[in-house]
Amino acid sequence: GKEVPGIQARMRLFLQFLGRLPGSSPHQGPLHLYHTITFGRPPTQVKVIVLDTRSYRDKHAIPSVGAWFRGVPILGKLTPLAAAASRYLATDILGWTQSHQGDILGEEQWAWLDKELESSPAAFHIVVSSIQVFTSTPFLESWGHFPAARDRLVSVLERHAPRGLLLVSGDVHFGEVASHPAPPHCEPPLMGNGSLVPVSWIPEVTSSGMTHSCTTSANTRLWCPIMLDAYESHRL
């Protein structure tokens, strides 16, 4: 989150690694990782909007206890389980997450997103989030642990109603398709001619784990399938 020291230095190294910021770049002012990429020209243009869900994020309702085990022999392997347990405790047991007002994007990025969507001529808009947006799973880090921020994101998307909207997320080491509203109220409305209207219905595709899955690790092999079966209300 935003409390991590040296964020600007980390951004510079990351951008240099990707070749987007040469080492001798005279860049002035603060760096940022959120950006857009466009393919083609109107009326068939595709705009990819990449969000930064890490650098400006507030703390969780309960800070992840997984960080306590990092670097500790043997216990370090329990980091994913400890982090998942703290999120579950905050969400399903204590209910603290529901009233959490923490933000994810920060005001500058919110303003940028608003501008990118406003009167966009693109035919398709792909919004990329590193973490899932509409999942109902409390164990995994997602926008669901920041309900005020998620509601704001939905509000921004519904207000601008960009054409061909699709959310793409990752992080969780499995793939699925979700939507807002969640099933069974997720049927996209139809126009008179039978074509779909991409308004008030927002699909999300989670594409994650090209080299391994959540069942690869010995720490998650047993509980991952159970978790996926227990929390599926968001899934199409």
| 184-218 confidence digits (pLDDT tens) | 655 555 444 444 444 568 999 998 777 778 888 77
pLDDT tens-place string over residues 27-39: 567 899 999 999 9
Residues near 204 by beta carbon (within 8 Å), at least 6 away in sequence: 132, 133, 134, 166, 167, 168, 169, 177, 178, 179, 180
Q: For the chain, how far is it from start to end, CA to CA, in angstroms?
A: 30
79: tokens are: 């980091």
202: tokens are: 């927002």
CB distance 139 to 87 below 8 Å? yes
Comparing 148 with 62, the larger pLDDT belongs to 148
The pTM assigned to this predicted structure is: 0.85
Residue 224 CA to residue 213 CA, distance in Å, equals 10
Please, what are the domains in the chain?
1-31 (no CATH), 33-58+102-230 (3.60.21.70)
Percent of the chain exceeding pLDDT 90 equals: 48
Residue 115, H or E segment: helix 107-117
Nearest of 136, 228, 231, 129 to residue 180 by alpha carbon? 136
pLDDT tens-place string over residues 86-113: 777 777 777 778 888 999 999 999 999 9
